[in-house]
Structure 1
Amino acid sequence: MIKRRTLLGAAAASPLLSLPAFGQSAGSSVLKYVPASNLTILDPVFTPAAVSVTHGYCVFDTLYGVDADQNPQPQMAEGHSVSDDGLEWRITLRDGLKFHDGEPVRAQDCAASLARWAKLDPFGQALGAATESFGHADDKTIVIKLTRPFGPVLDAIGKPHSRPAFMMPERLATTDPQTQITEMVGSGPFRFVADEYVSGDRVVYEKFADYIPREGEAEWTSGGKQVNFDRLEWQIIPDDATAIAAIQAGEVDWLGAVLTDLQPVIEASPDVNLHRTDPYGIMHVVRFNHLIPPFDNVELRRAVLKAVDQVPFLQSVAANPDDREECLALFPCGTPGVEQVGEGIMGSLDVEAAKQAVMDAGYNNEPVVILNPTDISSIHPHGLLIADLLEKIGFNVDLVDTDWGTVVQRRVSKETVENGGWNLAATNWPAISINNPATNATTRGLGESGWWGWYEDAEMEQLVVDWLAAEDPDTAAKLYLDIQNRAIDQVPTLPLGLSYRSGAVRADLQGALQGSVDMFWNIRRG
């Protein structure tokens, strides 16, 4: 059977070709883009925020990328070798790689970048736990020495989303992992123009003249990253209707996201096409803060899980039924090995029963601070809905409406709510970025070294270690199911289902690629 997402993926990959946009000549060397949210954190390893990852792919490059089947492919790397015992991986760099400051890319830079990334990213932490050292044999040879075999080394360092392993100069990569890097010097296809960056207004990049693309066609984050514009300008337009008007008028070329209610406007426009970037969809979640009351209490998390009906949450961000999918699990439904283990659990309590469950769990009327971004249409309704639900089942709710940049900054606070902390925050993840036990930050039990919310669970972490070490498919499948059941029982995060989001591009552009974020190579004016 052909799945809907397969057909949608084929549509998204089709050429986008028509007349030049109003106000820009066919030979225009500027590409104008409106991201789905403001860019406030420049360090794409420090945060998994999609807008920072999108920015990261402009400035930085990775040793390995992935193709459309999510198989790792060499990118900055020429290739690799593995010792007979599986404990030493050697990765050789391609010739001629340079950073934007003119310095050559060395293995020392890459080793330091891997070491910092492995302290922050969940998959990287799993690799780091099996690693003796990230080092180098010479300027072109990275050496990863393991303490035990770790088969998915390339899958880890080539992951396409949510803290990809971006390579930086050693002087930046040795920055404390808990400190944001603000100097943007990478070896990617675009150079960040620091003196034109104004958060909340604009972000500017220039084509990096010394970038050497790989041979072959670009596919997801791998292949030849051919840049066809001299300049890339991001314009921050928080209002969806204003952004739609701008692309219709030819004032911008590309919208990172289109509110579902406004998609018919795009469909009726002869000069603009909808573009579905990611055929795997987006998983919506609400994250609990596990460090402070009340959701350090698993019984209260379970009570909320049992009271949630995903349907209104999905309807609020995807008006078309074809653009949404219930998923009663903490792993993306439709990806290999995932079962809806939440069936019979999620939505099993009505309001009165949920009220009683909250009382029985010992809730003490602590204020529940919900961080809610007003400027992201795919998240804002979920803050409103979860606040309404919690009030109905007896929680003392404080809904904090603010911009996304403030949410991103505040949600890393580990303070009490009286001192600027928080209890709940909605967000979403590209499904492909959380599709296995090692990469799924929403379920990892890494505590204060893990994803914000800081869920700690030694049993979950042991299951992940066992899954990574499994040598046969049946054992791995059983462990994966155990992990899914553990997640729905402990409720580190509240799952809200899947949606399939579209952006929009001017019809005179062709070559827009699929990926977990928008990518600005390969695209050109027709």
Structure 2
Amino acid sequence: MTISRREVIKAGMAAGTALSFPSMLRAQTSPEDARTVRMAKEDLRIFDPVASTANITQEHGLAIYDTLFALDSKLTPQPQMIGKWGVSDDKKTYTFELRDGLGWHDGGFVTAADCVASIRRWGQVDAGGQLILARAKDISKKDDKTFTIALKEPLGLLPDILASASGQFLFIMREQDANRPATEQVTANIGSGPFRFNAALAKPGSSVTYDRNEKYVPRKEAPSAYAGGKIAKVDRVIWNNIADQQTAFAALQAGEIDFFQVPADLYPAVESDPNLDLQVVNKSGNVAFVRMNCLQKPFDNIKARQAILNLIDQEAMLRAMYGDPKYIRTVTSMFGNDTPASNDENTAWFKKGGDPEKAKQLFKEAGYAGEKVVILQPTDWASVSNGCQVLASALRNIGVNAELAPSDWGGVATRRSNKGPVEDGGWSMFLSDWPEFAMGDPISNVLLAANGEKAWYGWPKNDEYEALRAKWANVATSEERKALARKMQRIWWDFAGFVLIGQSVGPIAHRKTLTGLLDTPGGYLAMWNMQKASA
């Protein structure tokens, strides 16, 4: 008989079984407990948001850094660190002035020089930033509070790119940190945002702690997604790395933690607990995908990538990963289901149940000779871990030598940067997801770039596609953009830069005493505005 995780936990709790929790999770009874929020999060291994697109790293950035502009709940860019800004009559020179009250956690003042250095560093890795650097004639400070971006030609999307949450947020760092090469990680963790990183309490592999920045001066506007006033309403937030999903959920039920990205098979257990809530903080959801290493065998061959495109049974993988049908949808457009760029060009490959026989034939045409195909499996990310197992099984069924490489997500995020063969610690495939709203943004979304070794992990390369992507910022009307999107998608599915699994809208679980969680496009955690009532 198969017993689900939900049944194990329910039985254990009903019987009063005492699960073994780390001491840091034991229930607190001190008066200040209502001012401390504890969350089950994956291991934060990479602190530099320029060095990694991993959600956990970008969320760390949202806590301690601030941005020049930010998207509100309607996906409109709003000034954040900027007080005033304008553009010249010829639309080629933008002038930005910082608002008052911006200070670093180490006591210094934020200056225009910090902003210039941060833009230049971020622009080396973010797809939208790369476009700005390519179009820029000059990026320079005018005085301590003012800087300009002078362009070779107009770029009307500039404020949108500076505010983008589609790739990597443009977090402003101290000049001395931002002057480090983008290939070297910044480890100082000193920002100007609403929370300070507590280095003294950091326990690598176990927990990280953030304290309210008492000197932070928020904007006066109401909070709206990543924009508006970032008011920290709790004194401390602790991220506990609890790799075991059962332990994390039991800790949530017991009040040991307040927040947990709960796996789909536990939704009914959350709904039946009077002390817990499920909340969707990312209404457009995420699109899950398979990324292949285009630099190494077998996926350096286009036929092998096309094989995966035909192999995937989206419905089966979505059910395994996310469970409840009300939270999932199949996707055939590289631009997602609901973005203005979404279309049906070149989607004949999609078949209910997939097409394993065609996939097998395509692997044969690719000259596949039994090479090991290593799939990076994050065991602390339940949905993706389940998807990896389904994918490995499907590959083995058509004769592919698939091997799972289990680790926590931190290990996956580190290993996927290895461009070498699997024999040298490289990889063949990994699964992840991306905010659905961002799938319609080929300028800032690095997942949609195909510029070879400058591209995101997997490093697909197609010059014809890239020439079309470069035109995106210049088209004048939505009709022209839709036509361009169809041309791009026709080429994309031919060379298969990634393979889609489907769309999910997954809620998070939290104690009912935790309120004020903001709806955010992409679902990145915004820790300001949340508050906690006494139990």
Please classify the TM superposition score into its range, dividing by the shorter chain length. Answer: over 0.9
1:520 pairs with 2:524:
no
Write the deviation string for residues 27-83 of structure 1: whole angstroms up to 9, x where unpaired: 722111222x22111011211101111111001000001111100001001121101
Summarize the alignment of residues 316-331 of structure 1 with structure 2, pairs less than 5 Å apart.
316-331=320-335
Per the TM alignment, residue 474 of structure 1 is displaced from its structure 2 partner at its CA by 2.1
One-letter amino acid of the structure 1 residue matched with residue 35 of structure 2: S
Residue 162 and residue 470 in structure 1: after superposition, are their counterparts in 2 closer, same or farther (change >3 A)?
closer
Question: Which residue does the alignment assign to 2:255?
Answer: 250
Distance in 1 of aligned mates of 2:198 and 2:31: 24
1:274 pairs with 2:278:
yes
Question: Which residue does the alignment assign to 1:494?
Answer: 499
Distance in 2 of aligned mates of 1:115 and 1:455: 24
1:182 corresponds to which of 187, 205, 217: 187
One-letter amino acid of the structure 2 residue matched with residue 330 of structure 1: M
2:56 corresponds to which of 25, 28, 51: 51
Whether the 8 Å CA contact 2:446–2:456 is kept in 1: the answer is yes
Report the TM-score when normalising by structure 1: 0.92
Distance in 1 of aligned mates of 2:30 and 2:223: 26
One-letter amino acid of the structure 1 residue matched with residue 414 of structure 2: Q
Which deviates more from structure 2 when the two are superposed, residues 60-69 or residues 340-349? 340-349
Whether the 8 Å CA contact 1:22–1:249 is kept in 2: the answer is no
Per the TM alignment, residue 453 of structure 1 is displaced from its structure 2 partner at its CA by 0.8
Question: Which residue does the alignment assign to 2:369?
Answer: 364
Identity score, percent: 35
Whether the 8 Å CA contact 2:166–2:441 is kept in 1: the answer is no
Per the TM alignment, residue 161 of structure 1 is displaced from its structure 2 partner at its CA by 4.8
2:404 corresponds to which of 370, 374, 399: 399
Distance in 2 of aligned mates of 1:316 and 1:127: 40
Question: Which residue does the alignment assign to 2:313?
Answer: 309
Distance in 2 of aligned mates of 1:422 and 1:448: 15
Question: Which residue does the alignment assign to 1:7?
Answer: none
Question: Which residue does the alignment assign to 2:11?
Answer: none
Which deviates more from structure 2 when the two are superposed, residues 466-475 or residues 87-96? 466-475
Question: Which residue does the alignment assign to 2:8?
Answer: none
Question: Which residue does the alignment assign to 1:30?
Answer: 36
Summarize the alignment of residues 111-510 of structure 1 with structure 2, pairs less than 5 Å apart.
111-255=116-260, 257-341=261-345, 343-347=347-351, 350-510=355-515
One-letter amino acid of the structure 2 residue matched with residue 378 of structure 1: S
Per the TM alignment, residue 181 of structure 1 is displaced from its structure 2 partner at its CA by 1.1
One-letter amino acid of the structure 2 residue matched with residue 506 of structure 1: R
Per the TM alignment, residue 86 of structure 1 is displaced from its structure 2 partner at its CA by 1.3
Per the TM alignment, residue 319 of structure 1 is displaced from its structure 2 partner at its CA by 1.4
1:82 pairs with 2:87:
yes
| Count of aligned pairs | 504
Question: Which residue does the alignment assign to 1:18?
Answer: none
Per the TM alignment, residue 496 of structure 1 is displaced from its structure 2 partner at its CA by 0.5
Whether the 8 Å CA contact 1:47–1:162 is kept in 2: the answer is no
Query: SS at the partner of 1:395?
Result: coil
Per the TM alignment, residue 310 of structure 1 is displaced from its structure 2 partner at its CA by 0.4
One-letter amino acid of the structure 2 residue matched with residue 521 of structure 1: W
Per the TM alignment, residue 343 of structure 1 is displaced from its structure 2 partner at its CA by 3.5
Per the TM alignment, residue 431 of structure 1 is displaced from its structure 2 partner at its CA by 1.6
Whether the 8 Å CA contact 2:340–2:482 is kept in 1: the answer is no
Query: SS at the partner of 1:382?
Result: helix
Whether the 8 Å CA contact 2:127–2:167 is kept in 1: the answer is no
One-letter amino acid of the structure 2 residue matched with residue 283 of structure 1: V
Per the TM alignment, residue 430 of structure 1 is displaced from its structure 2 partner at its CA by 1.7
Question: Which residue does the alignment assign to 2:24?
Answer: none
Write the deviation string for residues 365-387 of structure 1: whole angstroms up to 9, x where unpaired: 22212111111112111211221
Q: Which runs of 4+ in 1 moved over 6 A?
A: none
Whether the 8 Å CA contact 1:437–1:483 is kept in 2: the answer is no
Query: SS at the partner of 1:369?
Result: strand
Distance in 2 of aligned mates of 1:360 and 1:465: 32
Distance in 2 of aligned mates of 1:502 and 1:489: 34
Whether the 8 Å CA contact 1:358–1:393 is kept in 2: the answer is no
Write the deviation string for residues 392-451 of structure 1: whole angstroms up to 9, x where unpaired: 223222221122111111110111211111111111112233322113322211211220
Question: Which residue does the alignment assign to 2:98?
Answer: 93
Whether the 8 Å CA contact 1:24–1:250 is kept in 2: the answer is no
Which deviates more from structure 2 when the two are superposed, residues 52-61 or residues 446-455? 446-455
Which deviates more from structure 2 when the two are superposed, residues 72-81 or residues 501-510? 501-510
Distance in 1 of aligned mates of 2:213 and 2:372: 50
Query: SS at the partner of 2:446?
Result: coil
Whether the 8 Å CA contact 1:305–1:347 is kept in 2: the answer is no
Which deviates more from structure 2 when the two are superposed, residues 48-57 or residues 133-142? 133-142
Query: SS at the partner of 2:104?
Result: coil
Distance in 2 of aligned mates of 1:440 and 1:356: 32
Residue 23 and residue 272 in structure 1: after superposition, are their counterparts in 2 closer, same or farther (change >3 A)?
farther
Whether the 8 Å CA contact 2:139–2:149 is kept in 1: the answer is yes
Whether the 8 Å CA contact 1:358–1:394 is kept in 2: the answer is no
Write the deviation string for residues 331-387 of structure 1: whole angstroms up to 9, x where unpaired: 221122202445421348633333222212222322212111111112111211221
One-letter amino acid of the structure 2 residue matched with residue 519 of structure 1: A
1:71 pairs with 2:76:
yes
Whether the 8 Å CA contact 1:329–1:488 is kept in 2: the answer is no
Whether the 8 Å CA contact 1:48–1:163 is kept in 2: the answer is yes
Residue 267 and residue 142 in structure 1: after superposition, are their counterparts in 2 closer, same or farther (change >3 A)?
same
- The unaligned stretches of length 5 or more in structure 1 are 1-20
Per the TM alignment, residue 25 of structure 1 is displaced from its structure 2 partner at its CA by 5.2
Distance in 1 of aligned mates of 2:135 and 2:349: 36
Distance in 2 of aligned mates of 1:73 and 1:266: 36
One-letter amino acid of the structure 1 residue matched with residue 440 of structure 2: N
Whether the 8 Å CA contact 2:281–2:507 is kept in 1: the answer is yes
Distance in 2 of aligned mates of 1:119 and 1:375: 31
One-letter amino acid of the structure 2 residue matched with residue 71 of structure 1: T
Whether the 8 Å CA contact 1:328–1:342 is kept in 2: the answer is no
Distance in 2 of aligned mates of 1:157 and 1:81: 14
Residue 30 and residue 125 in structure 1: after superposition, are their counterparts in 2 closer, same or farther (change >3 A)?
same
Whether the 8 Å CA contact 2:44–2:410 is kept in 1: the answer is yes
One-letter amino acid of the structure 2 residue matched with residue 369 of structure 1: V
Residue 397 and residue 158 in structure 1: after superposition, are their counterparts in 2 closer, same or farther (change >3 A)?
same
Whether the 8 Å CA contact 2:343–2:485 is kept in 1: the answer is no
One-letter amino acid of the structure 1 residue matched with residue 290 of structure 2: V
Query: SS at the partner of 2:471?
Result: helix
